[in-house]
Amino acid sequence: MRRIKLVVDYVGTRYHGWQVQPGKDTIQKRLEEALSLLCKEEINVVASGRTDSGVHAVGQVVHFDTNTEYGLVAYVRGTNNYLPDNIRVLSASVVDESFHARFSAKQKTYVYVMYQSKEERAIYANRAVRIDEIDTNAIDKACSYLLGEHDFASFMSSGSDVKTTVRTVYRAELIKKDGLYEFYICANGFLYNMVRKIVASLLRVGVGKMSVVEFRERVENPDINSLPYVAPAEGLYLLNVEY
């Protein structure tokens, strides 16, 4: 028995999120089916985290245990032969049995992609979110208050059973690149809907519906469900996971 680590990317548009659900088409379901066909045994995969319906990934990390001893290329190309085009295995490596895709992760980075336009753009459909003109200086100031260790309960949707809502953010930055606005956030972990709720609040700051002071108060005085705004799923990408 050996443990294999995979890096996977996918377009989450047509799937009901990552996690297996009865009667639903999910990323995990497709990947486990493909690996089971390849390995000729039942395979269960563990991911670094669950992405919601419509959310994408550039560098999702998973692990699974198998009795097979294929070459690493086989776990990449062989699995891809059984996967739809919107899910791809990018790399495979053998890891120690102590490695755990979720619990061994040190930090994750997400990027939220937006474009500024008066009209919806077909080219960005389900891949980026249209926004109006924004005050980037105000957003930059608000981003600075996210850095460091905070209780992010204000930016969590209910329904999560986490032991603590305290997280450490290492990077929170809005970058304009090639006509797109990309918000990068790196932390040692994320709460349910945390990134999408942060983005929604930052955009409210950007259009003057929330002041920078109000944003800072939400960070410094956590209150679950105090911020009902959640940005659309289609702009969110799990960029990478570091171990």
- CATH number, domain containing residue 78: 3.30.70.580
Assess contact for 127 and 56: CB atoms under 8 A. yes
pLDDT range class, residue 135, cuts 50, 70, 90? very high
Query: Which positions are catalytic?
Result: 52
What percent of the chain stands above pLDDT 70?
99
Domain that holds residue 53: 2-95
pLDDT of residue 94: 98
Domain count, the chain: 2
Do residues 73 and 134 share a domain?
Answer: no
Q: Is the pLDDT of residue 195 over 90?
A: yes
Q: pLDDT by residue (tens digit) across 140-159?
A: 999 999 999 999 999 998 77
Residue 115 sits in a domain whose CATH number is: 3.30.70.660
101-109 mean pLDDT: 98
pLDDT range class, residue 225, cuts 50, 70, 90? low
| The dihedral sign for the CA sequence 199, 104, 148, 108 | negative
What is the pTM for the complete model shown? 0.95
Do residues 74 and 187 share a domain?
Answer: no
Do residues 82 and 116 share a domain?
Answer: no
Do residues 53 and 150 share a domain?
Answer: no
Do residues 14 and 63 share a domain?
Answer: yes
**Biggest CA pair distance of the chain:** 58
pLDDT of residue 160: 72
